[in-house]
A and B are shown apart, each in its own frame.
Chain A
Amino acid sequence: MSPSTPRNTVTVRGTVVIDVEACKGCDLCIDACPPRVLEMTTREANAKGYRYPRLLAGCTGCQACAQICPDFVFQVYKYDTPLELPLDDEGGQ
């Protein structure tokens, strides 16, 4: 794989802050997220023993997660100018 292949990037319009300790691991945000950039942890759990969501690149700041979260764990931001972020560490498979 030649070093010159462009890295896999995605336009990111927003981000979230997640109050991990408030989460009850219900998964509702995962399917609600249109770009599907939330994913539940598999091993990590919060103090109450619940798994919680983690964010991948591609958030649009659309607030779907916050609106459907029964425990209000999301803070949602919209970037003034969208960012270009790498999807993964290498040039992509």
Chain B
Amino acid sequence: MSDDRIFISTDEPPAESAALVDDFTPSLITQANHHLCPGCGEPIAIRAAVEAIEELELAERTIAVFGIGCYTAFAHNLDVEVVQALHGRAPSVATGVKRMLPEGFVMTIQGDGDMVNEGLQEVLHAAARGENITCLLLNNGVFGETGGQMTTTTTLGQRTKTSIEGRDPHQHGHPILLSDLAATMDGAAYVARCAVNNAGNVARTKRYITRAYESQMAGAGFSLVEILTMCPTGWFVDTLEGPDYLQDTLAPVHNIGELRTP
């Protein structure tokens, strides 16, 4: 069957008068190409995070404290001021920054290995202390940067390079639901969980991040947004299967929604 469908040229902006509504790389990301894997959800989450900074006109007050994981590639690739912290320690570093710059907008960007493994005490203490910072948790349920090992958020039955037959509670224990934990802290003002596996969820992620930022700017206390992200490489699935794998493997355990609001 010959394909006679007409493909529209996408090399040049349209001749007809039109409004530009999206322009490749967000302005607060300096370098367009990065070396994260095809189908990775982290750049999508970071895009939402920096777009919200821009829309709330916070760029000139922002200090982003990075944890260590694949997303660290963006630490040297953002047009906002950045502090690179040690694995797990970002919420403490952010605390020091915020205490000395109360008018600054201080956030952390961390992964599940960084925040829920290495730095669990840091984030929970910051939440309990009601530190007026916003923590973003990019949760893909594996250590992505080191090639797909189990983390504390890996779900039961999920296969990783250190839970080869699937996470087994007797041998590997149970996943930690970080947002649910943080939501029990009275110092927490806003806690929500979302995902970037489809356009609707990406829009929801942007909304939740914006509300978290607004909560910080209102001085309401600790805010956290957990964003489920795809990691096809670390999940050993095709990039096209990433979104469904997230929906079937992570989302049923790490439930999406707002868990605590001011």
Residues of A within 8 A of B (CB): 14-19, 22, 24-28, 30-32, 34, 50, 54-57, 59, 61-64, 66-81, 83, 85-90
Q: Are A56 and B10 in contact, CB atoms less than 8 angstroms apart?
A: no
Given contacts A27-B240, A61-B21, is CB(A67)–CB(B38) below 8 Å? no
Measured CA separation A89–B4 after assembly (Å): 6
**C-alpha spacing A27/B14, complex, angstroms:** 24
Contact B39 A27 (CB under 8 A): yes
Number of B interface residues at 8 Å Cβ cutoff, please give it: 48
Q: Mark B35-48, 1 if CB is under 8 A from A, else 0.
A: 01111111110011
In the complex the two chains form, what is the Cα distance from A71 to B34 in whole Å?
8
Instruction: Return A76 CB to nearest CB of chain B, in Å.
Output: 4
Q: A30-B240, A66-B22 are in contact. List 14 more A-B contacts (CB 8 A).
A: A14-B21, A15-B8, A26-B38, A28-B242, A32-B198, A32-B199, A59-B8, A70-B38, A70-B39, A70-B42, A72-B29, A77-B13, A77-B19, A80-B16
Q: Does B146 contact A (CB under 8 A)?
A: no
Q: How far is the CB of B118 from chain A (nearest CB, A)?
A: 25
Q: Which residue of B lies closest to A34 (CB)?
A: B199
Given A67-B203, A77-B21; A57-B16 close (CB under 8 Å): no
A57 near B8 with CB under 8 A, answer: yes
Contact with A along B191-217 (1 / 0, CB 8 A): 000001011001100100000000000
CA distance A72 to B206 in the complex (A): 16
21 contacts between A and B (CB under 8 A): A17-B10, A19-B32, A24-B39, A26-B39, A26-B232, A26-B242, A27-B239, A54-B7, A56-B8, A61-B18, A70-B36, A71-B33, A72-B26, A72-B32, A72-B43, A77-B13, A77-B20, A80-B16, A80-B17, A80-B18, A81-B17
Given A17-B12, A87-B6, also A74-B22 (CB < 8 A): yes
The residue that A67 contacts in the complex, of B10, B44, B243, with Cβ under 8 A, is: B44
Determine how close the nearest CB of chain A comes to the CB of B194; give it in whole angstroms: 13
**What distance in Å separates the Cβ of B105 from its nearest Cβ neighbour in chain A?**
23
Are B199 and A68 closer than 8 Å at their CB atoms? yes
Closest 6 pairs (CB-CB, A-B): A64-B199, A24-B38, A26-B39, A76-B22, A26-B38, A26-B239
CB pair A70 B41 closer than 8 Å: yes
Give the tally of cross-chain contacts (CB within 8 A).
Answer: 143
Chain B contacts for A85, CB-based, 8 A: 6, 8
Q: Which residues of B contact A79 (CB under 8 A)?
A: 14, 16-18
Shortest B15–chain A CB gap in Å is: 10
Chain B hits for A59, CB < 8 A: 8
**Which residues on the A side are within 8 Å of B198 (C-beta)?**
31-32, 68
Chain A contacts of B17 at CB under 8 A?
79-81
Are A22's CB and B18's CB within 8 A? no
B57 at the interface (CB under 8 A from A): no
Question: Closest approach, in angstroms, between the C-beta of B40 and any C-beta of chain A?
Answer: 5
**Which of these, A18, A34, A67, A72, contacts B202 with CB under 8 Å?**
A67
